[in-house]
Amino acid sequence: MKTVIEQLLFHGMWQNSLDSMFLIRVRDDDFYIEGINHVLEDFIGAKSADLQGTRLIDLLPAPDTVLSHYRDCLQSGRTIYYEEEGIAPDGSSKFWHTMLVPLEYEGKDFLFGSSRDITDLKETERRLEYARDEAEAANAAKTLFLANMSHELRTPLNGIMGTASLLRQKQKESAETTGQLDLIVRSADAMNRLVEDILDLSKIENNSLRITPSLGDLRPTLDDVVILMRDLAEEKGLDFRYQLAEKFPVRLLADEARIRQILTNLLSNAVKFTEQGFIRLEVTYKESGEADSEHHGALRILVEDSGIGIAPDKLNQIGTPFFQVHPERNRRHTGSGIGLSVCKSLVELMHGDFRMRSEPSVGTLAEVILPTQTTALEEEVPAPPEFVPPTPFSVLVAEDNNTNQLIMRRMLQHLGAEVTLASDGHEALELARKKPFALVLMDLHMPSLDGIAATHALRAEGFDVPVVAVTASVTQQEREACKRARMNSFVDKPVKVEALRNMLARIFPA
């Protein structure tokens, strides 16, 4: 009974299958055609009866690869699967997926094979791979474009922000002049944040943005953002309320720059879309309460406003890049539509929660919860190092942009340095060979010889004084290249006096 059923099943499959099927007789380590089904007959244009007993080695144009599969199947005694490419009788290239089954019948060895034509599938895969490669190339081109645009945008920004911050540092101007400088700084800061958001969005899309937490006091960062945003809110006549938890930890493990970015974007949106009423910021920290999680907890940032609100059907689209809730108000409420998208992505990268609740004409509440760690509350945070200029304090600045040269010279002179300027890496090398310097500030992107190549050359000649990279866009690849060149630190453009002072304090501590 079993043999009858098996034969019925086999013949039914053999006669009705849409795949090419064949039966191979194995004799004396050689392979002979026993039979082929009608699909394979139609494909090769020959009848099964005419091919029966034919040696495969005499029939196949390149039999070695095929026969190696046959021998592997026989030796393993198991069904095997493989893909193969061949030429059809009409000269076209074909792909097949083949199943090969070893059989024994009445003491004789056979191989049963079934091959499915997957040429169309392979062509689809090829097109998908081509489309993927095209998309990756376009994405890489976009990233390069954004990096170049960042450099081009931040070069004039460096001049604006550097000059304004330097003039404010001198504190000799009238109240009116100081107010005008504050306006310049705030406007340039807004443009700089937009550039950073665009670059961060590109990094997020490429999965190349990294969170770098460090243990420190988050309160000065919160104060900085509050001071800036309170001024903007009060200019519109809004009531700005800030509440920090009384027992807020003096040390938290967090990425201060990213938290600043999240908070600035949330408050900026609140101020932008609120015409009357209030802006409320509340920052708290809650320990986990679990016995085995001492010093683990969550940072909670809550931003509430009495602004125009968001309709329910648009609330779930918050965080979509370039989506704007009120495009019809773009002339009045300017914005790029990427700030909240970056915020949401940053929170997710920090394994936190981002929530928004809103009601049209009532207001919006945004809540961010970030898991973090702290240390004992009574610990004191060490004061930042003070900068005491070495004697003599001679600094070489390699920078190809005239505006940036002027700004860097003035800032460094304000900090007590004697400044020498070089317009490219070659000139920097020549000057370094002629005169000893306490520090070199090296722009990464210069004509003729860039900053990384120039630093390699300096180190090769035994020049061991600190070299600091100054750039408008530090990619991960550039950071690694700077490390290989043995650069000592980074300063981001637009350069500010305080950032420069803090970098110098790290390199020349008191």
CATH number for 96: 3.30.450.20
Q: Is residue 389 part of a domain?
A: no
Q: Which of 232, 315, 241, 306 is nearest to 275 (CA)?
A: 306
Among 93-102, 139-148, 290-299, whose mean pLDDT is lowest?
139-148
Q: Is residue 122 part of a domain?
A: no
DSSP per-residue letters across 318-378: TTSTT--S-GGGTTTS---S-HHHHHHHHHHHTT-EEEEEEETTTEEEEEEEEEEEE--TT
Q: What is the pLDDT of residue 355?
A: 92
Once rounded to an integer, what is the mean pLDDT over residues 59-78? 86
- Residues 271, 409 within the same domain: no
Ranked by mean pLDDT, the top range of 37-51, 128-142, 169-183, 318-332 is: 37-51
Q: Are 197 and 345 in contact (CB under 8 A)?
A: no
Q: What is the pLDDT of residue 25?
A: 92
- Residues 430, 476 within the same domain: yes
Domain-terminating residue out of 374, 403, 434: 374
pLDDT tens track for 372-388: 987 644 445 455 567 78
Q: Which two tokens stand for residue 17?
A: 């299958």
28 vs 328 pLDDT, higher one? 28
**CATH number of the domain within which 336 lies:** 3.30.565.10
Q: Are 274 and 306 in contact (CB under 8 A)?
A: yes
Q: What is the pLDDT of residue 300?
A: 95
- Distance separating alpha carbons of residues 259 and 368, to the nearest angstrom: 10
Query: What's the pLDDT band for 170 if we cut at 50, 70, 90?
Result: low
pLDDT tens track for 172-201: 555 556 666 666 666 666 667 667 776 777
Domain residues for the domain of 34 are 2-117
Q: Which of 347, 198, 320, 371 is nearest to 258 (CA)?
A: 347
- Residues 460, 487 within the same domain: yes
pLDDT tens track for 242-276: 999 988 988 888 888 889 889 988 998 899 889 99
Query: What's the pLDDT band for 283 if we cut at 50, 70, 90?
Result: very high
Among 67-71, 394-398, 490-494, whose mean pLDDT is lowest?
490-494
User: Which positions ≥6 away from 32 have C-beta within 8 Å?
Assistant: 24, 25, 26, 53, 54, 55, 56
**CATH number of the domain within which 159 lies:** 1.10.287
Q: What is the pLDDT of residue 171?
A: 55
- Residues 188, 85 within the same domain: no
- Residues 367, 264 within the same domain: yes
- Residues 225, 366 within the same domain: yes
Residue 35: strand pairing partners: 23
Q: Is residue 383 part of a domain?
A: no
- Distance separating alpha carbons of residues 337 and 318, to the nearest angstrom: 9
pLDDT exceeds 70 at position 319: no
- Distance separating alpha carbons of residues 336 and 320, to the nearest angstrom: 12
- Distance separating alpha carbons of residues 427 and 436, to the nearest angstrom: 15
pLDDT exceeds 60 at position 211: yes
Reply yes or no: is the peptide bond before residue 371 cis, omega within 30 of 0: no
What is the number of structural domains in the chain?
4
- Residues 354, 413 within the same domain: no
Direct distance between the N- and C-terminal alpha carbons of the chain, in angstroms, rounded to an integer? 97
pLDDT exceeds 70 at position 148: no
Q: What is the pLDDT of residue 275?
A: 92
pLDDT tens track for 16-27: 888 999 999 998
User: Which positions ≥6 away from 476 have C-beta within 8 Å?
Assistant: 208, 210
Domain-terminating residue out of 205, 228, 245: 205
Model pTM? 0.52
Percent residues over pLDDT 70 in the chain:
77
Domain-terminating residue out of 61, 86, 117: 117
Residue tagged 């100081």 (tokens): 178
Alpha helices in 216-298 (DSSP H): 219-235, 256-272
Q: What crossing angle do the helices spanning 451-460 and 476-484 adopt, rounded to 10°?
A: 20
Once rounded to an integer, what is the mean pLDDT over residues 293-317? 84
Query: What's the pLDDT band for 64 if we cut at 50, 70, 90?
Result: confident
Ranked by mean pLDDT, the top range of 57-66, 135-144, 406-415, 489-498 is: 406-415
Half-sphere exposure of 430 (CA within 13 A, CB side): 8
